[in-house]
């Protein structure tokens, strides 16, 4: 992640930014949880044996649904990877905020 903080960012600002990252991470985790399995039931029905529908349109549509299911799964996993990075950055910011506040109390600059 690196240090993305402005040099004059206060401990309170870092703590606030960490809170915002955690809020975004919570929302993203919830979205990923719904996104990943979104088409599972539909694809399961479309690929059931015996098939509930047949023919060229059914085959093409089932292939499209299966591809979209995989794509949604990939998006959900990628979003969860972002969540992990956001939470790590939030932790880093919180640590910096604690150290910065202690330094301020000690009279450091």
Which tens digits make up the pLDDT trace of 49-88?
999 999 999 999 999 999 999 999 999 999 999 999 999 9
DSSP state letters, 40-78: HHHHHHHT-SS-SS-SHHHHHHHHHHHHHHHHHHHHHHH
Compute the mean pLDDT over every residue in the chain, rounded to the nearest whole number.
93
The percent of residues in the chain predicted with pLDDT above 70, rounded, is 92
The pLDDT of residue 3 is 54
Domains of the chain, by residue range, sit at: 56-103
Quote the CA–CA distance of 21 and 31 in Å, as a whole number.
Answer: 15
Contact 77, 36 (CB under 8 A): yes
Buried b (16+ CB within 10 A) or exposed e, 60-82: eebeebeeebeebbeebeebbee
The pLDDT of residue 50 is 95
**Residue 33 structure tokens:** 């949880």
Residue bearing the bigger pLDDT, 7 or 8: 8
């Amino acid at each position: 992640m690196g240090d993305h903080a402005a040099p004059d960012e206060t401990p309170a600002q870092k703590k606030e930014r960490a809170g915002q990252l955690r809020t975004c991470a919570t929302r993203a985790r919830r979205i990923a949880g719904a996104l990943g399995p979104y088409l599972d039931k539909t694809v399961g029905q479309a690929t059931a044996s015996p098939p509930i529908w047949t023919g060229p349109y059914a085959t093409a549509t089932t292939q499209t649904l299966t591809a979209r299911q995989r794509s949604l799964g990939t998006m959900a996993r990628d979003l969860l990877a972002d969540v992990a990075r956001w939470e790590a950055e939030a932790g880093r910011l919180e640590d910096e905020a604690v150290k910065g506040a202690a330094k301020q109390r000690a009279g450091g600059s």
